[in-house]
Chains A and B, each alone.
Chain A
Amino acid sequence: DAGITQSPRHKVTETGTPVTLRCHQTENHRYMYWYRQDPGHGLRLIHYSYGVKDTDKGEVSDGYSVSRSKTEDFLLTLESATSSQTSVYFCAGRGTNTGELFFGEGSRLTVL
């Protein structure tokens, strides 16, 4: 869905450095989500937001923080990246139909 864009699309960084992934939406979604995709695990929820400045943890939140200062932007921060955080990260917004999420194209992060 073109309404959700993620940046950067690809990033290589070193262990211990901070990383911020940005999700920008133009669909006025109230609920926003960050997932990570890993082989053998599918998509796992990291954090989600249910409104501006309202966020909560998902199932794999350790080592991650999020912020949502305005409806359009949902940021995912890795304070000190580790190799276990090498993954593909997807941002999603919730549509009006039950359970239907609209995903961005993903951000591939490699931590060396």
Chain B
Amino acid sequence: DQQVKQNSPSLSVQEGRISILNCDYTNSMFDYFLWYKKYPAEGPTFLISISSIKDKNEDGRFTVFLNKSAKHLSLHIVPSQPGDSAVYFCAALNRNQGAQKLVFGQGTRLTINP
């Protein structure tokens, strides 16, 4: 049972344009959401997060939007740069669980074309 889903395995975007990565979740107990970025042969690194009490969080070129009623979140990157080419993982957690076990989606491979 995949509680966090990223339905697009890959996405290709022109440099300078907006990249939009999507994520859906099924567990209504999730109250915190994160995006991680992963380059080949490296571990994932934290990118941006959002609490369920917000619907938007912005950090430079990266913005995450949360639609709780639809159980959907998205990551917007604008403008997209070649260094943004990586695999992006959406993750969710229930902060009431002390262990803070992150549940990850399958990942979306983003390719930024010059």
Contacts and interface: CB of A to CB of B under 8 A. Distances in A.
B77 interface: no
Interface residues of A, number: 27
A45 B101 contact: yes
Interface centre among A42, A94, A105, by most B CB within 10 Å? A42
B89 to A, nearest CB: 6
Interface residues of B, number: 26
Contacts of B102: 33, 43, 45, 99, 101
A100 B34 contact: yes
Interface of B: 4, 6, 9, 32, 34, 41-46, 49, 89, 91, 93, 95, 98-107
A99 B100 contact: yes
Given A42-B89, A99-B93, A92 B43 contact: yes
Given A42-B89, A98-B32, A90 B43 contact: yes
